Structure 1
Amino acid sequence: MMLPFVHRLRGIRRPSDPPGNNSGNGGGELSQDDMKKSNDDAYYPSCYDVLKVRYLLQHIWKWKRNSEELFPVELVDMIVDAAEYWATSESGLEGETIIRKDQDQALLTTVPLCYDVNTLDSDSPQMLPHRTVHPCRKIIFSILAHDQGWGGGARNKGPYDGSYTWFDTQIIHSAQKPPPCSEEATQGVQHVHFESGNPLLLPSPHKLQSNRTADKNPQLHRITWHYLDDVPSESSEAEDIENSTGRGRATLDGSQVRSLEVGDAIQVWGRARFGGWINHVQRVSVRVFWAV
């Protein structure tokens, strides 16, 4: 059935859709149900769906021409990528989590790239079909959160200026294997104090997303990382995107997506700094897309 393929053609990435174009609702409050409903119309194919469409694309050439030749694989790859018809997996955190000053917390860890989540607890986790050693094509982060609703100084650079509640990401390699007991990052360890000079003391250009400064209304931010993103972190465009959307300027060049390997997982951390700052996290989800 080709109908889902036609639907996904509407999602082709165009130059008019900048990589920093995430949605931050600056108005009224949002519930977890609102966040879920926003994805109701989306269609996400399974690995089997993608393989079936690839088979049809390859063999329709043979059927139409009554020949022994199949449609070239390279052209099938181009069509599938242009339509963004990729397999996906989603990981989510439900329920409110409150992060106070210097109590950083690992909120969720995604399914290892190209692995069957139902087999991760077995001795031999099952690898799913994929294309190349760097199959990741897109990652969509959805965050519903807000800070304490007060504080902060003059916000000359936009609504996220001076925000000290934010989210970071960490890559865990070979996540399909049991983690070493000494590896703190996999245990969701909360730190109690960050000294001056610590790289995690303040939000960095590599941050995933900041909360709007001193806004008690839950904000829904949907951040998309795409393998075709190419905005340099030192550019004025990256600076404008960071100031207007709260997204880290160093996450706009697509390198995070292109460098992911099979078995890698993404861990999302919530952070808060300085007295009185509180990160109220209501829901986080991450959907990872890869080429089959």
Structure 2
Amino acid sequence: MTPFVPRRRDVHRTRALLYYRLGLPNELVLDILDKARYWVQVVHENDQTEVLLDEEFSHEFSAAQPLLRIVIDRPAVARRETPKLREMEFLIVSHDQGWTTENTIGTYMTSSWFEVSIVRPLSLPDGRDPQLVALENDMVADSFDEHEYPQSNIHTVIDDMCGNLGFRNAPRPAPTTEPQRLHCDEMHAMTFLHNDPSRPMGVEGQHAWYLQGNEVARAISVFEGDYIRRYRVVWGCKDNPTWEGNEGAGRGEDFIDSLQHGDWICVWARAKRRGWENHVHGIRVTMRYTV
């Protein structure tokens, strides 16, 4: 049975019932709805099959492919309401190349993974001409859909896609490298260093949050075992400190709390090192908001 998901009007009616009929203080009403996870949700998805693979079998292989662009627009609300993003749920359908020469079968010590970055304009949209902001967003959307991928790293993609409009990958607040990137040197070092010293470069994960790794060499055939995996990852925020996932999932620390008005989120498929592949069959992101 499909779980009930409230719409905005459902939240308004419930708030009115608790406030006017039961006479509860507004602060308590909001707290009750929050504790009950009575949130509206917005779903974004991409069901296009994408394959990142090392056709040249190169030691320097590195690929970054943007899968999904999510603009941080608040859902339509009544005046004086400020919706807040409480939770993001990711559902990823994917697998790696199905074999490995390393002693890591069945683990998540992989070089086939997914990550998420926050793409931020150098100038915030507040105070700017709304028509100009909308035009820039349309240009970025067109470029996202029409650009040729993959490229070697996330900075090159964003530079080519919308660098001329002043967009950059925002830095991840934590100074330490996420543990999923530490099992080999190639996962830690960025393959390509941009010539412009003002651009971020150098270390993988400084401007992206690790989302999920593919289980290594789960099967070699669609007829043997659960070849295609479905990974579910849930990231919360400071006001909703939740996390769900397996040992190959990133924690998403400070991701939601780092989002600003005007940002957009990019979900990436990645693969590095000779022979590694990332076969993506779909990704869905569910955003849950208070109203």
What residue in structure 1 maps to residue 286 of structure 2? Answer: 287
In the aligned structure 1, how far is the partner of 2:141 from the partner of 2:71? 18
Counterpart check, 1:169 vs 2:116: yes
User: Residue 192 of structure 1: CA displacement?
Assistant: 4.2
In the aligned structure 1, how far is the partner of 2:211 from the partner of 2:113? 8
CA offsets 1:177-224 (integer angstroms, 9 cap, x no match): 433868999566521473388434x89993111110122411111100
Aligned-partner residue type, residue 107 of structure 2: P
Aligned-partner residue type, residue 271 of structure 1: R
The number of equivalent residue pairs is 218
SS at match of 1:95: coil
Is the alpha carbon distance of 1:131 and 1:271 closer, same or farther for their aligned partners in structure 2, counting shifts above 3 Å? Answer: farther
Which structure is higher in RCO with an 8 Å CA cutoff and minimum separation 6?
2
Aligned-partner residue type, residue 248 of structure 2: G
User: Residue 106 of structure 1: CA displacement?
Assistant: 0.7
Is the alpha carbon distance of 1:43 and 1:113 closer, same or farther for their aligned partners in structure 2, counting shifts above 3 Å? Answer: farther
SS at match of 1:110: strand
What residue in structure 2 maps to residue 28 of structure 1? Answer: none
Contact 1:152–1:213, Cα closer than 8 Å, also in 2: no
* Aligned pairs for 1:3-152 within 5 A: 41-62=2-23, 71-101=24-54, 102-115=62-75, 127-129=76-78, 135-152=84-101
Aligned-partner residue type, residue 93 of structure 2: L
* Aligned pairs for 1:202-217 within 5 A: 206-216=209-219, 217=227
In the aligned structure 2, how far is the partner of 1:130 from the partner of 1:92? 29
Aligned-partner residue type, residue 54 of structure 1: R
User: Residue 134 of structure 1: CA displacement?
Assistant: 7.1
Give the structure with the larger strand fraction: 2
Aligned-partner residue type, residue 45 of structure 1: P
Aligned-partner residue type, residue 249 of structure 2: R
Root-mean-square deviation over aligned CA pairs: 3.5
Contact 1:133–1:262, Cα closer than 8 Å, also in 2: no
In the aligned structure 2, how far is the partner of 1:132 from the partner of 1:75? 16
In the aligned structure 2, how far is the partner of 1:150 from the partner of 1:86? 42
In the aligned structure 2, how far is the partner of 1:128 from the partner of 1:264? 19
In the aligned structure 2, how far is the partner of 1:190 from the partner of 1:130? 42
In the aligned structure 1, how far is the partner of 2:52 from the partner of 2:206? 15
CA offsets 1:151-192 (integer angstroms, 9 cap, x no match): 152239x7102x011111122347984338689995665214
Please identify runs of 4+ aligned residues in structure 1 that moved more than 4 A.
129-134, 173-176, 180-189, 202-205
Q: Give me the TM-score of the superposition, normalised by structure 1.
A: 0.63
Aligned-partner residue type, residue 89 of structure 1: V
Unaligned runs of 5+ in 1: 1-39, 63-70, 116-126, 232-240
